Amino acid sequence: MDLISIVVPCYNEQEALPEFYKEVNKVTKTMNNVGFEFIFVDDGSKDKTLKMLRLLHKKDPRVRFISFSRNFGKEAGMLAGLRAAKGDYVAIMDVDLQDPPSLLPEMYEVVSSGEYDCAATRRTTRKGEPPIRSFFARLFYKIINKMSDADIVDGARDFRLMRRKMVNAILSMEEYNRFSKGIFGWVGFRTKWLEYVNVERVAGETKWSFWKLFKYSVEGIMAFSTTPLYVSSIMGFVVCIITFILACFYAVKALVFGDPTAGFPTIICIVLFLGGIQLIGIGVLGMYLSKTYLETKRRPVYIVRETEEDQ
Ligand code: UDP
Ligand code: MG
């Protein structure tokens, strides 16, 4: 009998957790010929999430949990869950029911038929999201796909069911700065995309502020593209050419018409422009350097405080 591990990162989700458990159980009951285990990762929640998980584990031995010593972010949560999973297949799901559990049987069918290694989901609409957020999200996917060779799909969720082989491939990537959407695409394998219409959160609030999302997208670009490192060189090159043309122009102008007053404004403009470009270049170098610094430290991505085995 196949075992499916369901990895669920949770951060302050006391409202959504019972709903999630109930809904997913409805679906798992209909799938008779497969076993399930749940791996809830409590990402340093400050509410009753951990307490609820302990109770759930007592009630249902299929429920396992890992609790972090503080909030390490969803990426760390997914990694911990994937490492702990014992299943032949592993699914990743959000606890807020924005990833409809009703898709699980179809996903399992797709992957177990052997044709595909992964069934992933993407939402076709962004209904219920602020328009500015949707606009920037779309822009981000356009930019990152131009800049990187990992295929990162617009609207792709982290909700997916993967074969063991693919999970092992993902675990073999030991980077500290993890951007799962890029990692999933980078390891390759055959992925079937299932589409669904966006569902709104069942309870609680989104944990992503605009600023957090912005930082996340910059991390994504830096983790899967080195193009920004070249951009400043290219800009520098272009500026040099423009400056050369400008210099020729002024030289000719001075020779033909003479130079009655000194070109004070021109100088200020050029100096400020070049200064700006240099700062951008240094900033880009600094960002990559800081990432390299963190990677070389080889810090753990998360620290575990408690698991169901401590019970
Ligand atoms: N999450 C987490 N750690 C965090 C933030 C979020 O484990 O620091 C979990 C959260 O509990 C949820 C999932 O990641 O299960 C997605 O979060 P959310 O629904 O807030 O994001 P959105 O759906 O709005 O993008
Ligand atoms: Mg959500």
- Over residues 96-139, the pLDDT tens digits come to 888 889 889 999 999 988 889 999 998 877 777 778 888 888 88
Q: Which of 41, 96, 133, 207 to mutate to test the pocket of ligand 1 (most atoms within 8 A of CB)?
A: 207
Q: Which of 41, 72, 96, 210 to mutate to test the pocket of ligand 1 (most atoms within 8 A of CB)?
A: 96
Whether 133 is in the pocket of ligand 1, judged by its Cβ within 6 Å, is no
Q: What value does the mean pLDDT of the chain take?
A: 87
Q: What is the band of 228 on the pLDDT scale with cuts at 50, 70, 90?
A: confident
Q: How is the chain split into domains, by residue range?
A: 2-225+299-310, 227-297
Tell me the CA–centroid distance for residue 203 and ligand 1, in Å: 12
What does residue 162 show for φ and ψ, rounded to 5 degrees?
A: -125, 150
- What is the Cα Rg of the chain in Å? 25
Atom of ligand 1 nearest to the CA of 73: 8
The residue contributing the CA closest to ligand 1 atom 24 is: 206
Residue 146's alpha-carbon distances to 140, 200, 215, 218, in angstroms, are 10, 30, 19, 14
Q: Could you tell me the two tokens for 52? A: 């609820």
Q: Which of 40, 69, 74, 206 to mutate to test the pocket of ligand 1 (most atoms within 8 A of CB)?
A: 74
User: Do 99 and 20 meet the contact criterion of CB atoms below 8 Å apart?
Assistant: no
Q: Order of strands, edge to edge, in the sheet holding 304-307?
A: 191-196, 118-123, 156-163, 89-92, 2-10, 34-42, 63-68, 304-307
Tell me the CA–centroid distance for residue 257 and ligand 1, in Å: 67
Q: Could you tell me the two tokens for 151? A: 């295929």
> How confident is the model over 168-191, as pLDDT tens digits?
999 998 888 888 888 898 888 899
Q: How far apart are CA 229 and CA 281, in angstroms?
A: 8
Taking the CA of 181 as reference, the closest ligand is 1
User: What is the pLDDT at residue 264?
Assistant: 67
The residue contributing the CA closest to ligand 1 atom 10 is: 10
Share of the chain above pLDDT 70, in %: 98
> How confident is the model over 23-75, as pLDDT tens digits?
999 998 898 889 999 999 999 999 999 999 999 999 998 999 999 999 998 99
User: What is the pLDDT at residue 291?
Assistant: 86
The residue contributing the CA closest to ligand 1 atom 11 is: 10
Whether 208 is in the pocket of ligand 1, judged by its Cβ within 6 Å, is yes
Q: Is the pLDDT of residue 243 over 70?
A: yes
Which CATH architecture fits 2-225+299-310? Alpha-Beta Complex (3.90)
Q: How far apart are CA 245 and CA 88, in angstroms?
A: 64
Q: DSSP state, 69?
A: S
Whether 13 is in the pocket of ligand 1, judged by its Cβ within 6 Å, is yes
